[in-house]
Amino acid sequence: MNRFNRPGLRKRIVESVNFSVVFFIGIIALFLFGITFISSTSKKDQKQILTDAVSKDVIHCYAVEGYYPLSLKYIEDHYGLTYDKEWYIVDYVPVGDNIMPSVTIVEINRK
């Protein structure tokens, strides 16, 4: 009797190959799910980081110069604020020299 012609050997080989393929596909699916989850979490964090950066620069300007900046462009030019203008709209409404401006950050829905 040949060792490759034993009954059930082909079945065991096919089952082990099937298990390997299914296991590999499962690992790939888990990896893709993880990347998607991290990407969505990162996007939420970016908005919070932008909010914190604008607030920090506005307060820093007031502490150094004695008044709040009159425009967002001033913060960009003098305090180095940068952000992706294709993904976010920053609504900066100054109220007065010594009253903190209203800052609203809106995420643009891009697909």
Query: Mind listing the pLDDT tens digit for each residue in 2-47?
Result: 666 665 666 666 677 777 888 899 999 999 998 888 877 777 788 8
- 3-state SS, 15-70, equals HHHHHHHHHHHHHHHHHHHHHHHHHHHHHHHHHHHHHHHHHHHHHHHHHHHCCCCC
Q: Do the Cβ atoms of 98 and 70 come closer than 8 Å? A: no
103: domain range? 3-107
Number of domains in the chain: 1
62 versus 16: which is more confidently predicted?
62
